[in-house]
Chain A
Amino acid sequence: MATVAAVQVPVTKRTPTGDIVARWVAFAFAASVLLLALLLVHELWVRSAEPRHKFGWAFLTSTKWNPVTEEFGALPFIYGTLVTSFVAMLISVPLGLGSAIFLAELAPPKISNALTFLIELLAAIPSVIYGLIAVFTLVPLMRTTVEPFLNDNFGFLPLFKGTPFGLDYLSASMVLSVMTIPFVISVSRESLLAVPREQREAALALGATRWESTWQVVVPYAKLGILGSVFLGLARALGETMAVTMVVGNDPSIHTSLLAPGYSIAAVIANEFSEATGKIYPAALVELGLVLFCLTIVINALARLMILATTSKGSKRA
């Protein structure tokens, strides 16, 4: 009879009330992260209603930016954002990938970890400090040395035409390249470390040199993660504000020359938003924010998906 009674009281299946409450509270906080994202989209959308209705898609293709006559076009800013970020990645990807290979494949673990920490510090430096350093060291250097050199020797290319000022696309790209290197390195390094040891050993056993095994076997194996790191850096560059604002020259027009002053989406918001008066002017800046949001969210989402795909594939070596 005692056994029957025990079956009738299934104690183990009842969840205590405290647990249910705790679960829902934690759930609510987790949901608030989603809510924040939705709120962000909603606010950007609502606050940019006026220019969206007035200009439509032409907002994206117009090159006029004149707050006085209330004409707003985003193209010079989109162009500047894309050009500075792209040139930055041309510099930071080879440097970052090379360093990641060194840190993951060649350096002994202890040294690799110490150096990786230093590189993380590079990522921790605030953007405005990069701007400060750039304004007082990089810009004069670009104006007096690097840009005249490019202008003298490659001036026949439209990219390097014109008088070098120092405050231009190229200076912004240089700062951005330094700022994105840590992102390229840290994720690439992790993807390289996630490549199974057997891959390397098989290549070496076949007589490949260390470099051949790395470049022809390990890097292709980790390519998705490396590509993810590049996209992550790119997203960072697209949205970078302070450092770019301080060196890009702040000229809302399109120039083919990298030695000409330009503008970026983030920079124009930073410069003009707190002083934007009227109704449509701030709204146009919010719409620029919406454009930047869309750009970075696509690039970031691609990056995250690629990184997820690689890091869940291999087995960690270190």
Chain B
Amino acid sequence: MTATQEPEHVKQKKYGAHDIPSYLDPNHIGPYEIYLEQVERVTPYLGKLAYWIETLKRPKRILVVDVPIHLDDGTVAHFEGYRVQHNTSRGPAKGGIRYHQDVTLSEVMALSAWMTIKNAAVNLPYGGGKGGVRIDPRKYSTGEIERVTRRYATEIGLIIGPEKDIPAPDVNTNPQTMAWIMDTYSMNVGRTSTGVVTGKPVALGGSLGRADATGRGVFVTGAEAMKKLNLPMEGARIAIQGFGNVGEAAARIFHQHGAKIVAIQDVTGTIHSDAGIDPGAALEHLRRTGKITEFPGSEEIQKAEFWSVDCDVLIPAALENQITLANADQIKARLIVEGANGPTNPAADDLLTGKGVVIVPDVLANAGGVTVSYFEWVQDFSSFFWTEEEINKRLDRIMSEAFLSLWDVKEQHGVTLRTAVYIVSCTRVLEARALRGLYP
């Protein structure tokens, strides 16, 4: 019997004193159910704060909007839009806006809740939010997408703002989308408001350091974990899957600090070198030839062999669900730093944890992106912008402090870092809730 087939009374017991909200189908709760289970699991660690636990299970506010636009052919089309503010106890809601034909309310609810967890894990003064429009952007012209964006921004304009809820790019949205939202919102409120969204182009109040932010966060948390494991950085052997925005930056920064990149895998192939690969030269080679393979001084290996490469640190920075039972037992690394979202499936996670491998979970390892989003918002308040060095210095501080407080909780409770994230985040959110109380 799966969870979704359980009788109603079982479900009520499982999710606390209250029913599943009426706006979710109890038989098909969807992604929000995964989140509810995660909260259930850490409730015993929350002590007296568990009194407030229901607060985490219910989003503060859900707005469903109709988004009508004129299509290029002269007809009118309607799209469903959502904005969910899961929690604002620690600060304004914050989270991306995605455009996808399969977006559902349950998905947006779950994503907004995960933003609450992520923001609290890094100790940013934010709650969590997420938005989405049910549209397949590939089927529409740029003009149509702009009209959808502006109408959607106007509809949710009632509840967003620099001191209320700050959207950011997500699946199928980008700095241009954010520029349209910023412009629409600014026109509607009658003043320039750059801080209403982050992920803007640098010319419109965006922040420097954004391109490298996630990869840099992977490096900072990875380096802190290596200290805990007594793994010296000098000469440490690193294998990286993915050589895009995140993987390339992480490889470059690890290399700069004396580590040795022994393997890189991307869509074009897998290369290996015991002597170490210079990521700068590899990027140059990739740009010139269109592939990572045949890089001088490296040997090409089979795709599956990547997992058994002799290394100290493994960084999956490509896609989700890469480390599975099919390859987990071949992994030689003592440390895995999840640059990508969800690269390790739960069964593989259990197996690796059982072997004593430490996994720095995605919510922490790739939080460099949202941290620089936070810096962008901070800079927008004063319209005074920081240098890239200042941003990197502050990013390093926030990421390493976040890692260290999670590590303490991991040690204290004898749990994985992934569980520690939930314990720390739920504690921080409910601590704020308890201090604020209920009003009126």
A binds B: no
